[in-house]
Amino acid sequence: MLKIGFIGGGNMAAALIGGLAGKLTDGNNIHVVDLNPESLEKLNQRFGVTTALQVDDMFAKLDVIVLAVKPQQMRQVADSLKPFIGTQLVLSIAAGIRGADLSRWLGNHPAIVRSMPNTPALIGKGISGVVALDGVSAEQRAAADAILRAVGTTVWLDSEDLIDPVTAVSGSGPAYVFYFMEAMQKAAVELGLSAEQGVELAKATFAGAVELAIRSPEPLSLLRERVTSKGGTTYAALTSMEGDGVAERIVTAVKAAAARGKELGEEFGKD
């Protein structure tokens, strides 16, 4: 059974641990470090994981170490981990932080996998972009894949350059969807429906449309055209959106997220 450590026991770590515990490995084979004792207590109670407030010698005995802190904290975490690094696979889920920087901070450690999951991992419906540095063995790639697949699906990338685009599309993506849903709810209220009715309509519309898109082999544009009767209501809404350049603005926004990912790597990977 895999022995897995987590540094950072926040949102994303909890999602991953929830997917792993009792399936890929037992809770007592998972060791979590976080500065916040309350987060640790919750994880211990829910999944039976062992915990510590700082990186300890347990980390020398693990197969995989998942780095799940914010990009800003990664350098300091790497420094505290370095004395315990041997042959373990290090799996980072942090936005921006480059594999080469992590490797250098860990004493030129070769076994680094970078991944970008998303919050639907909390309900087992995540998707993760993943890329392995050259020093990762086939067995370690399989371990990284199994960990991420415990909370959804994986898309392996040939180049680390594609991780920032994945971050921008699917890592941050759930927030764009919620933003759109919030706007639909706002419109519903302005048109006279209650807030509860608005959110129910928005959620069910997204759930139904997404399921339809997943089950349909047809392109998204065709699904959209089927809703859009010439001169009808949808046509009026889409014409308004086109006039306002909404699609272009979304493309610009997603590109801003990718640019920020690159910038984070430059900002926190300097030394």
Ligand X SMILES: O=C(O)[C@@H]1CCC=N1
Binding site for ligand NAI (CB under 6 A): 7-13, 33-36, 39, 68-71, 73, 76-77, 93-95, 116-119, 171
Residue nearest to ligand NAI (CB): 10
Q: 70 or 149, CB closer to ligand X?
A: 70
Q: Judged by CB under 6 A, which of 115, 172, 258, 268 binds ligand X? A: 172
Q: Rounded to the nearest whole angstrom, what is the least distance from the CB of residue 262 to ligand X in the complex?
A: 12
Residue 197 CB, shortest distance to ligand NAI, in Å, is 28
Residue 25 or residue 172: which is nearer to ligand X going by CB?
A: 172
Question: What does the H/E/C string look like for 160-209?
Answer: HHHHHHHHHHHHCHHHHHHHHHHHHHHHHHHCCCCHHHHHHHHHHHHHHH
Q: Which C-beta is closer to ligand NAI: that of 68 or that of 89? A: 68
Strand partners, 53: none
95 binds ligand X (CB under 6 A): yes
Asked if 110 contacts 85 with a C-beta cutoff of 8 angstroms, the reply is no
Q: In the bound complex, what is the minimum distance in angstroms from residue 167's beta carbon to ligand X? A: 5
Query: Residue 65 contacts by C-beta under 8 Å, 6 or more apart in sequence?
Result: 4, 5, 6, 7, 59, 81, 88, 89, 90, 91
- For residues 166-197, one letter each, b for 16 or more C-beta atoms within 10 angstroms of the residue's C-beta and e for the rest, the string is bbbbbbbbeeeeeeebeebbeebeeeeeeeee
- Rounded least distance, CB 117 to ligand NAI, Å: 5
User: Between the CA atoms of 50, 54, 56 and 58, what dihedral angle is there, to the nearest 10 degrees?
Assistant: 20
Closest separation between CB of residue 79 and ligand X, Å? Answer: 22
- Binding residue for ligand X, selected from 171, 198, 265, 269, defined by CB under 6 A: 171
Residues contributing to the site for ligand X (CB under 6 A): 95, 167, 171-172
